Amino acid sequence: MPGVPDAADDLEEVSANLRGVQERIGLAARKAGRAPDSVTLVAVSKTHSPPRIEAALRAGHRCFGENRVQEAQMKWPDLRTSYPDLRLHLIGPLQTNKVKDAVQLFDVIETLDRPKLAAALAEQMTRSNRRLQCFIQVNTGDEPQKAGIAPKDADGFIRACIEIYGLPVIGLMCIPPLDEPPALHFALLREMARRHSLPELSMGMSADFEEAIRFGATYVRVGTGVFGSRTAA
Ligand SMILES: *Cc1c(COP(=O)(O)O)cnc(C)c1O
């Protein structure tokens, strides 16, 4: 049928997007004097359907991000059966009543941002005998409506997550304010990670991932650049 996208169109478009983004990641890394494979692309598949996600999987991509536990539960168990080596990151806020489902479904939690959640995650990981890598989300812009630990509380919280809750914290994550140049926020996050000897930095999205790489990002979260617009149905 003309005009109606099918699986072959999805595959062609998503593969081309993935190649383009990976190429830009590689260039940005080399410009920063880093190895291209020091940056992992998290393909953000929120709102996109399983067939479209499967196009990325068939193109060989394995690392994905979702922002809602419930949406991810509907989409990912089947995909995981077909592609057991995929890695799924939770990049949206996590309510404590969803911790059990999140620990079962995800491989990485990027949005650890408060003591109550740290305690719930630690308990559930023990209970289910699973160790999910965690990023601590820092609200670098101190925006009241945004998730993430406030910068002034971050050092203490990072220490508590590691020393008190015993969580496998591998790095920090941030989402800079929309209306500010992101560089200052990327630099702040890098400095904070350095203080705590945390090796990973999740920062940079479709609009600014190259700049994030310049500031040391090891994970970039790219949705639109890989899957296209989320509003066009
Ligand atoms: C949606 C989302 C992204 C990807 O945004 P794009 O601009 O589409 O690349 C990255 N990080 C988080 C936390 C998101 O919610």
Residue-wise pLDDT for 30-61, tens only, equals 999 999 999 999 999 999 999 999 999 999 99
Name the closest-CA residue to atom 13, ligand 1.
Answer: 91
Name the closest-CA residue to atom 10, ligand 1.
Answer: 221
> Contact at 8 Å (CB) between 141 and 185?
yes
Name the CA dihedral angle for 4, 51, 15, 38, rounded to a multiple of 10 degrees.
150
Q: Which residue has the tokens 């590689």?
A: 26
**What mean pLDDT comes out for the span 209-233?**
92
pLDDT for the residue numbered 231: 72
**159 alpha carbon to ligand 1 midpoint, in Å?**
27
pLDDT for the residue numbered 233: 45
Confidence band (pLDDT; 50, 70, 90) for 22?
Answer: very high
**92 alpha carbon to ligand 1 midpoint, in Å?**
9
203 Cβ below 6 A of ligand 1: no
What are the backbone dihedrals phi and psi of residue 27, each rounded to the nearest 5 degrees, phi first? -65, -45
Name the closest-CA residue to atom 12, ligand 1.
Answer: 91
**What mean pLDDT comes out for the span 98-114?**
98
**67 alpha carbon to ligand 1 midpoint, in Å?**
9
Task: Please provide the average confidence, as pLDDT, over all residues in the chain.
Answer: 96
